[in-house]
Structure formats: C-alpha cells, structure tokens
Structure 1
C-alpha cells in the first residue's frame, strides 16, 4: 500500500458516506460557480449589448445602482454633440419590463433619426417609420421564445405594441430585447426630459489617443457625470458589486459547511479505523505520515467535489439562462478565474476539515489502538 492507494481504499470502503460528503462539496462549489458566473455574464452581456449598437463612449449617472436607474438630462445632449471629434450623440432610455407578462426583457427607447437605428440587423420586417402606432423591433431570440412574427402584437409596459421588425443581434442582451421609438417609451415611463444614458459615437478613424482626448473633453462638458467605454460603464454599476459580495458570502458559508462535512466524515473514519491506524503506528509509521494519510483523504474528496461542482455550476447557469422568465437578463459566463477561485476554496476547505481528525489519528497509541479490536 502506498500513501495514495491507502487513502483511496479508505474512501471506497465507506462509499455512501464518501459520496454524500463529495456531493456536499460539489453543491457548495456549484453554488459559487453559478452565482459568480451569472453575475459576470449579465455584466458582460450588458456591455456587449451597448457596444454592438455602435457607441464608442457612454455618458451616465455617477455610481448608478442597477441597469436602468441612471438618469441624465436631455439638456446635456447639445453640449456633448459640440465636443470636437464627436460624430453623433444619442440619448437612450432603458427599462426592464415583461413581454405579455411572460418573459422579462430589456426595453430600449431610441430617438428617431439616431445613429443607433442605422445598422439594426433586420431578418424580417422593417424599421419604424413616422405614423406607426406603438411599433417595436424584437430580438430574434425573444421573438422565437414568445412565438411572435412581424405583424403580431406584444404587450410591453402594459401597452400593446405592433411588431414591425425582427433583428438578429450578436449579443445575448439585444437578442432578447425590445427596441421602440423613444417618445412613446418616455410617455409610458413619464420621463420626457431624461434618458438613462447618452451613447456617443466618435469620428473615424479611431485611435487610443483620440478616444482618450475625446473622453477628457466629454468629461469637461458633462461635469458630475461618468464618461467611459461600454465595459467601464458596466463595471460602474453597483448592483454587480452587491451581487458579487452576496455570492462570495453565501459561498464562504457553504464552504464552511462543506469543511465541517469533511471533518465529520473523516472523524468517524478515524474512530472506525482505530485498529488499522494502530497497526500502521506499530509498523513504524511516524505521526507525521499518519497525519498526511488522513489529509490526503480530505484532499481527494475535495478534488472530486470540486470537479463535479464546476460541472454542476455550469449546467445550472445554462438552465437558468434558458428559462423564459430570465431571457436576456441572465447570461452564463464561466471564466478561468472563477474556476480557479472555486478550486482554491475546496483545497482550503478539505484540508481544514481534515486537520482535527488527522490530529486525533496521530494521538492514538499503538498499544491502545490494538487493544480496541
């Protein structure tokens, strides 16, 4: 028996207890992976959705809490448009609402004549035109989920809209969004003089120095507001920090519970294997070697739980993202860093849980252990 095969034999000898402990660790890891992955996914999706519309910079309220709580005054638009190297400025009004009280989607209001309408990738229908009564363009994914076609009606913000076009965007957020003329949405939300943000398009060609110079001038033109690229805007939304903090707190609590489960399993194993440990000590195994034996068992269970948990977390994210209730708002994202964090957690929790049982095993005297048979 080697120091690797002996721990494996010990775990296999009590399969049900080992399996339950591994599953406990796996659920803890899955919770961490799913919570952190979904939070990062929503953040990245929101940034890519705005970036896809052709904006280079975003002007928003400082320290906005969630995706739609930012407020910038309409009167700020002319000052932004007057900044050198700015090609176009468009106010955007965002809202999260339900479509036919069936799916949660992002509703975006764009002004008539905005550059945002220019490159809408229509696959059916047309863009709204003057004279349309409550027109809307749906992303292809949400249109399919709701089984909607051009000419159908969909209720948004308690108002029936007529679908005039369906667009195939590249970002998940836009694929599950509804784009409407700004004026109607402002009326529904009673926000005639305010936008959620301004999207700014700079003159081409672009280079890093030109973008930095334009950003500096825009900051001067919009004192008290935040100017940044789409990723910086998404990172500034405070609700993502809150969600990450919640995810870490819940994960730490669950990981502590997993560590206790490891300790309980190995402590029972030490009590049941008193004779075996006594024989090893009688054969000349040093306390340090016995300690290492029990710790390896904890590491094995943690590693198995970690791998299973990462797979379960990824599957949980996919399942959550496919629900109609969360269409377009929840986007799975599994990064190497989140996997590394999960594995760091389990490889700390496992050995920590195994420390006390391992210490107990080293305290057994060979003669006393052999007398317990």
Structure 2
C-alpha cells in the first residue's frame, strides 16, 4: 500500500464527515469559479483588446460626436483604420429581454475589428444586400432562438423613429461567431445608414469612433494624440483601449473586482477555519494509530506527509467538483451572462487548492509529528 492509498483510506474513515467537507469545499470553489469567470468575461481580462481604441466624448457616453470628426482622426499617421458605431438599446417582446444594437459601416468595421468579431467577407456582403439587414452574434441568436432569414422587431428604449414609432424591424442576414469564447457576441450589427436616416434625432452623429493603430505605434501615445487634437474643439474626446473602457464602465457602479475578491476571500477563510478544526479532531482521534505507525518505522516527515496527503486529497476532490460545476455553469449561461472560465482562472484555482490543502493540514500534521509514542499509546 502506497502513502497515497493510506491517506485516501484515512480520509474515508468517516464517510459522512468527508462528504460534508467535500461539499463545503465544492461550494466554495463553485463560488470562486463563477465570480472569477464573471470578472474574466465582463472586465475583458480574457477577450478585450489593449490595442483597439475607442474614441468617445469627454462629456460621457451619452454625448454624441459629429461624423465630421472621423476625417481628422483618419488623417493621423498612426491610424491604420477607423470606424464608427452608434448604439441602440431595446427589447424583444418584454422589457426584461434587452437587446443591444451597434449601427456601423460594415466595411469599416471589418477593417478595424473584423477578426475579433469573426466577420467574413460573406457576412459583410450579406448585410450589404439590404439596408434593414443585420448580423446577429452567436450568443444573442441562441438566446433568442433566431436564425438566418428571420425578421426581428426591436423596441428601442430611447431612439424613436421619424414616424414616432420606437419599433425597429430587421432581417437577419447572418450570424457572427466571435474570435474566441471570450468575445462578446450578445448583440447585433446594423447598418448605420439605415438607422441614421430613420431616427428622429441625433442624425450624422456617432457614439464612438473605433481606431486601429498602425503596427509599431503605441496605443497609449496615439490615444493621447487624438485627445490633444480635439482638446480645444467643441467636442473634446476621451480615447481609451477596449479593456480600459470596459473596466471604467463597470467602475461607474462599483469596484467589481474588489467586491468579488472580498466575497471569495470570506468564503475561503470560513472554509479554512472549518476544515482545520475538523482535521485537528480527526487526527486527534487517531493518536494511538499514529503511535503504532511510528513504532513500525514511519518517520516524523512520513507522518506529516500522510496527513497533508489526506487534506490535499479532500481538497482535490471537493475543489475539482466545484470547478467542474462552475465550468458547466459557464457553458450553459456563459454566452448570455458573459462568463468566461479561462485557463488563468483554472490555474489560479489549482494553486488555491494546493495552498489551502497544505495550510489546513499543517497544524494537525505538526501536532501528530511531535506526539511521543508513549503519549500516543496512553490514549488507548
């Protein structure tokens, strides 16, 4: 029998106690997996770009920029391509079923961020065959049950049409996949010329310009140069990378990262206290057996390794179950909620499992290692 087999059998001496410990550990790592996946998805840690720049009004996202500003941005020698986007928010059938629309020039969007969104010449050609045609992201299409050729009606929250209606009707020309699982595809892409001509206000303005720097050009320096260009104009700008924009957007409501870390930290501290207390009593119950093992020739380090192996086994099984459930949850709800169970999330979880497994077993292992054989036999 190997040391691992002995540690595993010791862990299952009291099956109910072991199962309850594993359930507690699984719940803690399920919480960690979901919250870490939320941060990876919503803050763009896995998918947002540090190079792609967004130019918005310095007065806030609700202040539009004139279309005429595009030529001044494109004239900058550090700009490889520039596009623009106007955002509409609305709902399908009920107000809780919110849908986002990005109205853009498909050809310019393809040049700026076609790879990131998973656009192809065939998709761009399909949306170009009709002004009311749209491309729908895979996540949105699956959530709404939409398919190519279907017509969809979006009721806008704050973008009325010239005829007074808030209903925007589109034909789905194609579905874009996104470059990776981390790419946000829970929105649709409409043609700017159609939206701009039909809306009642804000004509010939955009919510943001999207800028792709030339190879070798620092995005930070280019962002500062664009803002300097418009500093004394009637519409000063604020230029940020995609990742900076997403993080700043979330900070308008709260420091999400800090809140998540506090929640996860509290869960792990509570778990640490529970498991340490349980393992101390579990090892104390086996004091006589530890004396027997020492009599049979087990070294002090061998006793320590045996108990640490037991706690690591419990944490590995419980943590593995929790992470598997978190991964399953991100698969089921990830496209809708923006959850991304990335490789860094998994790697950090494995490190936490190892650290907590060693930390919870350290005190009982140290006590068992120092227990004299005679004192151990007196417990019987």
With normalisation by structure 2, the TM-score equals 0.72
C-alpha spacing 1:95/1:160, structure 2 compared with 1 (3 Å): closer
Give the whole-Å Cα distance in 2 for the aligned partners of 1:114 and 1:319.
33
> Which of 92, 100, 114 lines up with 1:106 in the alignment?
100
Residue of structure 1 equivalent to 2:349: 342
Distance 2:320 2:241 in 1: 36
Equivalent position of 1:255 in the other structure? 268
2:55 counterpart of 1:59? yes
Q: 2:136 maps to what in 1?
A: 139
The superposition leaves residues 225-251 of structure 1 with CA deviations (integer Å, 9 ceiling, x where unpaired) of 444554565466554993333332222
Q: Who is 1:4 aligned against?
A: 4
Once the 2 structures are TM-superposed, how far is the Cα of residue 86 of structure 1 from its aligned partner? 5.2
Q: Please, which of 120, 123, 140 is the counterpart of residue 121 of structure 1?
A: 123
C-alpha change, 1:97 and 1:256, in structure 2 (3 Å) is: farther
Which of 184, 188, 205 aligns to 1:177? It is 188
Instruction: Give yes or no for contact 2:55–2:210 (8 Å, CA) kept in 1.
Output: yes
143 and 306 in structure 1: CA distance in 2 versus 1, 3 angstrom threshold: closer
Query: How many Å apart are 1:90 and its aligned residue?
Result: 4.1
Residues 1:265 and 2:261 aligned together: no
| CA 1:59–1:15: 2 relative to 1, 3 Å | same
The answer to whether the Cα contact below 8 Å between 1:45 and 1:331 also exists between their aligned partners in 2 is no
Paired residue for 1:221?
Answer: 229
Cα drift, residue 39 of structure 1: 2.6
Distance 2:100 2:17 in 1: 47
RMSD: 4.1
**SS in structure 2 of the partner of residue 121 of structure 1:** helix
Q: Which residue of 1 aligns with 2:65?
A: 73
CA distance in 2, matches of 1:17, 1:313: 24
In structure 1, the partner of 2:338 is: 330
Q: What is the Cα deviation at residue 317 of structure 1?
A: 0.9
Structure 1's 18 and 194: CA in aligned 2 closer, same or farther, altered over 3 A?
farther
Corresponding residue for 1:15? 15
Quick one: distance in 2 between partners of 1:354 and 1:63?
55
Using the alignment, how far apart are the partners of 1:85 and 1:371 within structure 2? 81
Match of 2:258 in 1: 245
Q: 8 Å contact 2:219–2:241 — kept in the other structure? A: no
User: Unmatched 5+ residue regions in structure 2?
Assistant: 112-120, 158-165
2:304 maps to which residue? 291
The answer for unaligned runs of 5 or more in structure 1 is 130-134
User: Are the equivalent residues in 2 in contact too, given 1:63–1:236 (CA < 8 A)?
Assistant: no
Contact 2:152 2:172 in 1 (8 A): no
Task: Please report how far the alpha carbon of residue 163 of structure 1 lies from its aligned counterpart in structure 2 after TM superposition.
Answer: 1.8
User: Which residue does the alignment assign to 1:367?
Assistant: 374
Post-superposition offset of 1:71: 4.7
